[in-house]
Each structure stands twice: as C-alpha cells, then as structure tokens.
Amino acid sequence: MILDYKDIAEYIINNYRNKVVEVGIGSLPQVALLLKDKLDVVVTDVHEQKYAGVRFCRDDIFKPDMGIYRNASLIYAIRPPIDLQDAIAAIAREVGADLIIRPFGNEKADLIKYFKEYSLVNHKKARFYLYRS
C-alpha cells in the first residue's frame, strides 16, 4: 500500500470529471477504489485483477487497445516502472488526456516530448508528476 493514496484520489476527484484510466493497477487498488463512486474509472493490467465495483480491462500498454483510453480526461499510474512510462505517455497524448505518474521514488522518464507542460505536484502528503495534454 502507498501512504498517500487518499491525497492522490482527492486531487483527481477535485480536478477531473468523466472517465479516468489507471494503467497497471496490480496490487495497489486503493486510489481506484476511492474514485469508483465519484468518477467513471477503468483500470488496466496485463494480468487479470478483480476489485469490487471497479471496471477492469486486460491490456498491454506496448500493444494497447486504444478504445479503453478514448474519452479519458486523465490517465494515471501508481509507481510504474520507468520502462513503462514512455508507453503510458504516448497513449495519453494520443487520446488527449492528462497524465499523472506517481513514481516509486524520484525516478521518472523524460516525457516532456509528449506534453506541452509538466509539473511536480505536492498535494498534502502526495507527490506526483502531472503532464497536461
């Protein structure tokens, strides 16, 4: 579990409407579980995941089903490995969604080539990178 999940969810709820997609949910469903009653949330992973009340779609971000991501206002990933961040950013740019990367530590890929601007957001205990479409 990540300690700042409530603050990440609060930021998303306060700043986004409609559809949001979490890439690579794995065993960290806490943000999606807080969002599911407030937003249209879709979560993806290469392995089947089941969390009550959360819509899951199996997807490989290196060969994405773009239908999953269309109409999303935000795509986000919690602690994605650095080698996945570029593929996630390419998807977000293609569908015109903002992107939040909550890194494991300080590691982040150079994703500015996909977005007009980015910033490090500090929201209460949460710290993450926000890329605007």
Lowest mean pLDDT among 20-24, 46-50, 83-87, 112-116: 112-116
pTM of the predicted model as reported, rounded to 2 decimal places: 0.94
The domain that holds 51 is classified in CATH as 3.40.50.150
Buried b or exposed e, range 87-116, using 16+ CB within 10 angstroms: bbbbbbbebebbbbbbbeeeebbebeebbe
Domain of residue 123 covers: 5-132
Position 106 pLDDT exceeds 80: no
Q: What is the mean pLDDT of residues 89-99?
A: 96
Provide the domain count of the chain: 1
